Structure 1
Amino acid sequence: DLVLALTAEELQVWASAEGLKGVTVLMLKLRLQGICGLSRFRQRILARSAVLHDVIHVQAPGELQLARLPFAEASKTEIAALLLACHEEDFDLVDEILHRPQNPDLSNDRGLTALVAATEVGNADIATLLLEANADKNLVDSFGATALSVACEGRFTQVANVLIEARADVNKAKLQGEAPLLTACRNGVQAIVEMLLRARANLNQVNDNGESPLYHAAKQGQWGCARILLEAGAQADLCSSNGKHSGGTPLFIASSIGSLQIVDLLLRFRADTEKATDAGSTPLGVAFDINRLDVVKLLLGAGAGKKMSRPASIVLDFAARARPKDRLLCAAARVGDLE
């Protein structure tokens, strides 16, 4: 399908006043890709009906023609071959298959595409090559995961950067409603969290259980990710809406695992110390339950327990269960002397 003819004069203008010296067919294809929307893999440059290879330097005078190729038919075996080449990180073979030209978005029975396959092994070079072939950045596998979600799960920072730079949808959630930012926070990948926020990912996007990225950062003890989110303006008191700790806030979940650093961080960002779960458990109460005196002291110092109907009895109960050397601290906590 002939779509464009370039005269020698037009080529000279395109190549600048210095002429065509040093301009290869590949360089011309890349320039035309932005003009006609065809990836270089589907372009053929012809001179006098002969196909010019990418490494050939463009010569003037003469006329060049651009032919557009449709995607070649691909069998299941050929689709599998591209996926395998991506998994085995065989860059040259991937390039060869794309030049058939084979559609990079064809998937196997599990919905696996070449871009997701390349992402699964963390190969940024092959991911870049596939994007150059106009691979769809937002296609999902059978789990509803995009390549970006897979990069966040695998902690592949370079691939995530390639996808974000290519404007992948940073808020597209997989099954159970988990968006890339939540995945990155759960896995503690601070670099990816920062990339996603620069790309305007939704700070407070929750999963199907109503759990936010901050909630999962707190749940996994990921202090660095929690700090980044809070400094970016994440809501400190978003409650989960389902599951074991339904109604729990990030402060509650951090208290429940005894994460002193994250509790301290959340308190510095004015997290609500009194917000209870649907079952009525508070951050202070759960800290008592797991015998974390350090967390108890921190919460009491921030004013927790003021709304409790019987705070003294709870402290005394805790003191009875505490080690002998900790009883003095519990008694001091009861009267508010935390120094």
Structure 2
Amino acid sequence: MTIKRWQLIPTVLALLLVSGSLGQTPAKPMNSASLDPEIIEAAARGDLAEVQDLLRRGANVNARDATRRTALTAAARGDHVAVARALIAAGADPDLQDSNRNNALLVSGETGSVAMLREVLRANPDLTRTNRFGGTALIPAAHRGHVEYVREILKTKIDVDHVNNLGWTALLEAIILGEGGARHTEIVRLLIAAGADVNLADREGVTPLAHAKRRGYAAIARLLERAGAR
């Protein structure tokens, strides 16, 4: 059977449409860098589906905003644990610090979220990183009375006697900035059990025991004295 030229026209046109040869310009893929601000904002909102979609589309998991905050730090601030898990699985660096020296671990010490702490620990963070006050994640947790967080982070190799820029350890901060009630008393007990130096004084030479007595924290003073505090 002979095929006439005009019978081939529909086939040729179809091929030209598919190949874009009729003057149509194929759509350009979105620059993945333009997705970076979006992933940080989505993480801050706790929008897991959006974060996962942005990662699939090529967003940088370690992108930073104008304050050098990462999506992981934003997720930690909002205690969005599932988002943090997704970011860590995608390779998020837990140690990146923003312009205020915050990172995911340090933020979790402020919020006291044990669930967030456990997620961040899966990424093997640097436990020696310090916040703008020179404190590790343990110190603000002790100050704020986050008992379960302190209990959990003391299971790691974090330095229980780290001294911050104010000259205070976690033990001193729990006493000086705490309110002397049940939560801070338990934190003092946990720190002592973890090997905290009960005689490590502040810059003025005032010991934890002296601070406790000055404030009338009798239960804390008893714990310190039993541990050999002077």
Residue 248 of structure 1 corresponds to which residue in structure 2? Answer: 206
Cα deviation for residue 259 of structure 1 reads: 1.0
Shift of 1:136: 0.4
Query: Which of 210, 217, 223 is matched with 1:259 structurally?
Result: 217
Shift of 1:82: 1.3
Task: Report the RMSD for the aligned CA atoms in angstroms.
Answer: 1.3
Residue of structure 2 aligned with 1:214, choices 142, 167, 171: 171
Which residue pairs with 2:73 in the alignment?
Answer: 116
Give distance in 2, aligned partners of 1:165 and 1:217. 27
Matched, 1:231 2:190: no
Task: Tell me how many residue pairs correspond in the alignment.
Answer: 195
The structure carrying a bigger strand percent of its residues is 1
Asked whether the equivalents of residues 204 and 213 of structure 1 are also in contact (C-alpha less than 8 Å), the reply is: yes
1:45-56 mapped onto 2 (5 Å cutoff): none
Residue equivalent to 2:141: 184
> Deviation per CA, 1:18-38, whole angstroms, max 9, x where unpaired?
xxxxxxxxxxxxxxxxxxxxx
What percent of counterpart residues are identical?
A: 29
Matched, 1:172 2:134: no
By relative contact order (CA 8 Å, sep 6+), the higher-ranking structure is: 2
Partners in 2 of 1:130 and 1:200 — Cα distance? Answer: 24
TM superposition shift of 1:190: 2.0
- Contact 1:164–1:170 under 8 Å retained in 2: no
- Find 1:74's aligned residue among 30, 33, 55: 33
Work out which of the two has the higher radius of gyration on C-alpha atoms and give 1 or 2.
1
Q: Runs in 1 of length 4+ with deviation above 2 angstroms?
A: none
TM-score (ref. length: structure 1): 0.56
**1:111–1:141: 8 Å Cα contact kept in structure 2?**
yes
Q: CA deviation at 1:266?
A: 0.7
Q: Which residue of 2 aligns with 1:136?
A: 93
Distance 1:268 1:216 in 2: 20
* Equivalent residue letter for 2:166: N
Residue 165 of structure 1 and its aligned partner are, at CA, apart by 2.7
The one-letter amino acid paired with 2:223 is L
Which whole-Å deviations, capped at 9, do the CAs of 1:273-328 have from their partners, x for residues lacking one? xxxxxxxxxxxxxxxxxxxxxxxxxxxxxxxxxxxxxxxxxxxxxxxxxxxxxxxx
1:86 to 21, 32, 43: 43
Match of 1:153 among 97, 110, 124: 110
Cα distance in structure 2, aligned partners of 1:171 and 1:117: 20
Stretches of structure 2 that go unaligned for 5 or more consecutive residues are: 1-30
**How many angstroms does 1:146 deviate by?**
1.6
Determine if contact 1:171/1:179 at 8 Å carries over to the other structure: yes
Report the CA distance between 1:256 and its aligned residue.
Answer: 2.2
C-alpha separation in 1, matches of 2:122 and 2:220: 31
Query: 1:226 and 1:89 mapped to 2: Cα distance?
Result: 34
Aligned residue identity for 1:103: N
Q: Which residue of structure 2 lines up, in the alignment, with residue 269 of structure 1?
A: 227
Q: Could you say what secondary structure the match of 1:265 adopts?
A: helix
**CA shift digits 1:47-84 (9 cap, x unpaired):** xxxxxxxxxxxxxxxxxxxxxxxxx6413xx3322122
Question: Aligned with 2:196: secondary structure?
Answer: coil
Inter-partner Cα distance in structure 2 for 1:225 and 1:169 = 23
Give, in whole Å, the separation in 2 of the partners of 1:152 and 1:209: 18
Asked whether the 8 Å contact 1:164–1:199 carries over to 2, the reply is no
Q: For 2:64 and 2:93, how far apart are their aligned partners in 1?
A: 12
5+ residue gaps in structure 1? 1-71, 273-339
The answer to whether the 8 Å contact 1:164/1:195 transfers is no
- Normalising by structure 2, report the TM-score: 0.81
